[in-house]
Amino acid sequence: MRLAVAREIEVGERRVALIPDTVARLVKKGIEVWVEAGAGESSFFTDTDYETAGAKIVTDTDALWHEADVLLKVGIPKEREDGRLEVDLLREGAVLISFLNPLGEPAIAQRLAQRQVTALSMEMIPRTTRAQSMDALSSQASIAGYKAVLIAAAALPKYFPMLTTAAGTIAPAKVFIMGAGVAGLQAIATARRLGAVVEAFDIRPAVKEEVQSLGAKFVEVQLNEDTVADGGYAKEVSEAAKQRTQEVVAEHIKQSDVVITTAQVPGKKAPILVTEEMVAQMKPGSVVVDIAAEQGGNCACTKPGKDVQYNGVTIIGPINLPSSMPVHASQLYAKNLFSLVQLLIKDSNLDVNFADDIVSAACITHAGEIRNQRVKEALATLSSATAG
Amino acid sequence: MRLAVAREIEVGERRVALIPDTVARLVKKGIEVWVEAGAGESSFFTDTDYETAGAKIVTDTDALWHEADVLLKVGIPKEREDGRLEVDLLREGAVLISFLNPLGEPAIAQRLAQRQVTALSMEMIPRTTRAQSMDALSSQASIAGYKAVLIAAAALPKYFPMLTTAAGTIAPAKVFIMGAGVAGLQAIATARRLGAVVEAFDIRPAVKEEVQSLGAKFVEVQLNEDTVADGGYAKEVSEAAKQRTQEVVAEHIKQSDVVITTAQVPGKKAPILVTEEMVAQMKPGSVVVDIAAEQGGNCACTKPGKDVQYNGVTIIGPINLPSSMPVHASQLYAKNLFSLVQLLIKDSNLDVNFADDIVSAACITHAGEIRNQRVKEALATLSSATAG
């Protein structure tokens, strides 16, 4: 079985699918590993590091893609500089494992099915206990939450911690985290580490205990509807619930030095949690970091990839935060892939076993078919929108 | 007595000498306070905030400087856009209190003496217990140390804290702080808060206990000479001592993910602690933040105000870090000034009393004379250098 790691061609993507350490583990299991020349460069792993780990360094990109039994990537396959699609470089029957965003960009799934590729989407790994070690959405979201707080602290014109100095006492910064998923929880932990007073809000009351255990205050909003979707993610709620939520959070936003928003709905535009009016109520010098910027943002003032000034408030909409910490982001992602790849191996040979619930859930295309119902629906919506 | 706060004209200077809260305290003591329009803008204090605190907002800059009994500033007086020197706007007998860098730029002292200005330099506040509340070098250096760590953490491609995740354990970052003065100690505290493993080095063995009490390991170097100058600052050491020091620190630098350098000698070029060879030995992806960048830098690769890439190592040379946190930097500086101004008041009138050791130490010019011996020497050196 031959496993290949492609160099990421997306601008700004600094991660790599496998790090030398995981390559060595795979090689030890009797797997042949090819790594595209320069694949680890942006995350500070050299070709020599990979070679030492037992990989073959491949400079011929087309050969790497075409001769792989399993191709590993970080980001969605793209169009290359020469106009060819990366997806089209794979041979029929090959396995592709990567973030594929099949609910947000379902067209890629259609293409993968047409190409007879067996595609496993890292976004579709179920949130079960057995799949935890493969949960790349979580490993990467945690980095986003950590990094968002560092960005906020660096932008804030104040200290985060309370300090007692010869020139008087400095009050701690007030940080409000919106959304207590993996990113939100790591943001809470990081803001607490830096000494801020932290409040957190989530429409799922079940996260209250976790929030409190990290030393943050949980802001409660009473809603009369179900707020948790399958898989433990937050669900999109009704207009009335949004209204009620907005009233409660507006008060907390107003009193905060830093607001970090992390609310994302898989495959959909991010919900607006911080309106322009709420930003206008914030103290000059306050900072909003919007982790959902790439999905349109949780703040009405967010411009993805930009710092926006609004009435003295700085709204930061970072893009691809995990990529800004490429060593650990790649290390964790590689470990996620390693765990998943182990499910696909039997006696050092490739064996895609759909009886395994994780393989079945993650696999979006196989033998010319789209296997996932939600991806089919997303594709149907896309087709009707294009037709309309 | 009329006290005036000038708007800073230096590009990138976001601090202001007094914040509304300190204005209110001074007004309560029967002091008239003038604040130049827009003086607090970059630190998020509005003219209305100052007016509410009891200040008079003055739009006529010349009048503000000329009619002040005591003029308060943050940065060294500069040449204005119209070509006039700010110093020349003061009337004879006026008091100027500001950072004046008289040892580094002694020409300003000469001009102030010629203008018959009584100038108090915040750098010359003695390091005595009674003067602690006026120690602006310390209040601002602490911000620099805090911010340097945030910048390093944001630039590092790794997490700072140790994390135990479903995808394996993340090892904590190794941070090496060079110089355990106020900036270094705050850097240690901040890096520890973020969960890094911290080592610190200082040529003064007396700081060992303080370093250890913050949870860092103290790196010891045995030197056979005195390393502490008057006032508790680090002293410039011999070439032999530098050599021995370099050998020891080189080993620690090599093993660190982050190096933060904070060694400054008042009025002199910063000593090189991290040579090009040492940077070449560092791991790709490592980060150096050089707080001494403005004084030429402690790292041979530092370019003030720039991020330099050298063999995969990022060397960051930030300029005026306290100004990047203008709310708290101004708050602390204002408190420092407030404490000092109190020594200059008797029955709501100005009374510069040289019998007070703090006033005497801080005052560098009075009645046409340069009062400070070290400033005189710096000026003599400057004159001979210019003549040579």
Which tens digit of pLDDT belongs to each residue from A298-310? 999 999 999 999 9
Is A130 a domain residue? Answer: no
Three-state secondary-structure class, residue A174: strand
pLDDT for the residue B232: 66
- In this structure, of A204-208, A363-367, B251-255, B295-299, the range with the lowest mean pLDDT score is A204-208
Report how many Cβ contacts below 8 Å link chain A to chain B.
116
User: For chain A, how many helices (H) and strands (E)?
Assistant: 12, 19
Annotated catalytic sites of B, by residue? 127, 132, 135, 138, 233
Of A303, A319, A335, the position where a domain reaches its end is: A319
Annotated catalytic sites of A, by residue? 127, 132, 135, 138, 233
Interchain CB distance below 8 Å, B285 and A331: no
pLDDT for the residue A205: 87
Domain count, chain B: 2
Choose from B19, B165, B287 for mutation: most chain A CBs within 10 A: B165
User: For chain B, how many helices (H) and strands (E)?
Assistant: 12, 19
Q: Tell me how close the Cα of A273 comes to any Cα of chain B, in angstroms.
A: 25
For chain A, report the end-to-end CA distance as a whole number of angstroms.
45
- Phi/psi for A123 (5° steps) reads -70, -20
- Evaluated on CA atoms A160, A161, A163, A168, the torsion sign reads positive
Do A225 and A310 belong to one domain?
Answer: yes
In the block, tokens 């860092």 appear at B216
Number of Cβ atoms within 10 Å of the Cβ of A334: 30
pLDDT at A149 over 70: yes
For residue range A76-93, list pLDDT tens digits in order. Answer: 999 999 999 999 999 999
* Chain A CB contacts of B166 below 8 Å: 132-133, 135, 138-139
Q: Does B15 touch chain A (CB under 8 A)?
A: no
Q: Does A12 touch chain B (CB under 8 A)?
A: no
Choose from A328, A333, A335, A337 for mutation: most chain B CBs within 10 A: A328
Question: By CB neighbour count within 10 A (0-12 exposed, 13-18 middle, 19+ buried), where does B240 fall?
Answer: exposed
Is A129 a domain residue? Answer: no
pLDDT at A213 over 90: yes
Q: Tell me how close the Cα of A106 comes to any Cα of chain B, in angstroms.
A: 28
Residues ≥6 apart with Cβ < 8 Å to B375: B102, B103, B106, B109, B364
CA dist B43 → A365, B38, B145, B271 (Å)? 55, 10, 20, 32
DSSP B10-33: STT----S--HHHHHHHHHTT-EE
pLDDT for the residue B388: 52
Do B280 and B319 belong to one domain?
Answer: yes
What kind and span of H or E run contains A240?
helix A239-254
Interchain CB distance below 8 Å, B158 and A44: no
Q: Does A335 touch chain B (CB under 8 A)?
A: yes
Interchain CB distance below 8 Å, B167 and A139: yes
Interchain CB distance below 8 Å, A335 and B167: yes
b/e A76-86 (16+ beta carbons within 10 angstroms → b) = bbbeeeeeeeb
What kind and span of H or E run contains B184?
helix B182-193
Q: Tell me how close the Cα of A12 comes to any Cα of chain B, in angstroms.
A: 14
Choose from B150, B185, B337 for mutation: most chain A CBs within 10 A: B150
pLDDT at A386 over 80: no
pLDDT for the residue B276: 96
Do A152 and A46 belong to one domain?
Answer: no
Question: By CB neighbour count within 10 A (0-12 exposed, 13-18 middle, 19+ buried), where does B169 fall?
Answer: exposed
Interchain CB distance below 8 Å, A168 and B283: no
Half-sphere exposure of B313 (CA within 13 A, CB side): 30
Interchain CB distance below 8 Å, A163 and B142: yes
Residue A213 corresponds to which amino acid?
S
Do A174 and A315 belong to one domain?
Answer: yes
Do B171 and B270 belong to one domain?
Answer: yes
Q: Tell me how close the Cα of B16 comes to any Cα of chain A, in angstroms.
A: 13
By C-alpha distance, the chain A residue nearest B339 is A167
**Minimal Cβ distance to B166: which of A135, A156, A326:** A135
Interchain CB distance below 8 Å, A327 and B44: no
Question: Which pair of tokens denotes residue A348?
Answer: 């050092």
**Minimal Cβ distance to A44: which of B132, B285, B328:** B285
Q: Does A265 touch chain B (CB under 8 A)?
A: no
Question: Which pair of tokens denotes residue B33?
Answer: 């306070």
pLDDT for the residue A268: 86
Is A134 a domain residue? Answer: no
- d(Cα A183, Cα A292) in Å, to the nearest integer? 10
pLDDT at A228 over 90: no
Do B115 and B174 belong to one domain?
Answer: no
- d(Cα A292, Cα A203) in Å, to the nearest integer? 16
- CB of A354 closer than 8 Å to CB of A99: no
- d(Cα B302, Cα A384) in Å, to the nearest integer? 57
CATH code of the domain covering residue B205: 3.40.50.720
DSSP B93-137: T-EEEE---TTTSTHHHHHHHHTT-EEEEGGG---STTTGGG-HH
Q: Tell me how close the Cα of B286 comes to any Cα of chain A, in angstroms.
A: 10
* Chain A CB contacts of B170 below 8 Å: 328, 331-332
Interchain CB distance below 8 Å, B44 and A157: yes
pLDDT for the residue B387: 66
Arithmetic mean of pLDDT, A235-246: 79
Do B315 and B342 belong to one domain?
Answer: no
- Residue ranges of B 143-182 with Cβ closer than 8 A to chain A: 143, 146-147, 150-151, 153-154, 156-159, 161, 163, 165-168, 170
pLDDT for the residue B347: 86
- CB of B123 closer than 8 Å to CB of B361: no
* Chain A CB contacts of B289 below 8 Å: none
* Chain B CB contacts of A332 below 8 Å: 165, 167-168, 170
pLDDT at A388 over 60: no
Question: By CB neighbour count within 10 A (0-12 exposed, 13-18 middle, 19+ buried), where does B19 fall?
Answer: buried
Question: By CB neighbour count within 10 A (0-12 exposed, 13-18 middle, 19+ buried), where does A238 fall?
Answer: exposed
pLDDT for the residue A376: 94
Interchain CB distance below 8 Å, B325 and A158: yes
pLDDT for the residue A325: 98
* Chain A CB contacts of B142 below 8 Å: 163, 165
Q: Does A208 touch chain B (CB under 8 A)?
A: no
Number of Cβ atoms within 10 Å of the Cβ of B29: 12
Pair type for strands B287-290 and B258-261: parallel
pLDDT for the residue A232: 66
By C-alpha distance, the chain A residue nearest B154 is A150
Q: Tell me how close the Cα of B74 comes to any Cα of chain A, in angstroms.
A: 16
How is chain B split among helix, strand and coil, in percent rounded to 5?
Answer: 40, 20, 40
pLDDT for the residue A240: 82
Do B271 and B347 belong to one domain?
Answer: no
Of A319, A341, A374, the position where a domain reaches its end is: A319
- d(Cα B141, Cα B278) in Å, to the nearest integer? 26
Do A295 and A185 belong to one domain?
Answer: yes
Is B239 a domain residue? Answer: yes
Do B111 and B226 belong to one domain?
Answer: no
- d(Cα A385, Cα A248) in Å, to the nearest integer? 36
Question: By CB neighbour count within 10 A (0-12 exposed, 13-18 middle, 19+ buried), where does A388 fall?
Answer: exposed
pLDDT for the residue A239: 82
Tell me, what's the ipTM? 0.94
Residue B153 corresponds to which amino acid?
A
- d(Cα A315, Cα A27) in Å, to the nearest integer? 46
Residues ≥6 apart with Cβ < 8 Å to A138: A132, A182, B166
Of A286, A319, A352, the position where a domain reaches its end is: A319
* Chain A CB contacts of B38 below 8 Å: none
Is B375 a domain residue? Answer: no
* Chain A CB contacts of B339 below 8 Å: 167
Q: Tell me how close the Cα of B337 comes to any Cα of chain A, in angstroms.
A: 10
- d(Cα A369, Cα A119) in Å, to the nearest integer? 10
Do B107 and B147 belong to one domain?
Answer: no
- Segment-wise mean pLDDT, segments of 10 residues, chain B, 388 residues: 97 97 96 98 97 98 97 96 94 97 93 97 96 97 98 98 94 97 98 98 92 96 73 73 84 97 89 94 97 96 96 97 98 98 92 96 97 93 75
pLDDT for the residue B384: 83
- CB of A242 closer than 8 Å to CB of A278: no
Arithmetic mean of pLDDT, A108-135: 96
Q: Does A22 touch chain B (CB under 8 A)?
A: no
pLDDT at A387 over 90: no
Show the domain range for A262.
142-319
Q: Which residues pair with A56 in a beta bridge?
A: A34
- Rounded percentage of chain A residues whose pLDDT exceeds 90: 87
Is B352 a domain residue? Answer: yes
* Chain B CB contacts of A193 below 8 Å: 161, 193-195
Residue B325 corresponds to which amino acid?
M
Is A135 a domain residue? Answer: no
- d(Cα A111, Cα A89) in Å, to the nearest integer? 12
Do A186 and A217 belong to one domain?
Answer: yes
**Minimal Cβ distance to A133: which of B135, B136, B166:** B166
Is A132 a domain residue? Answer: no
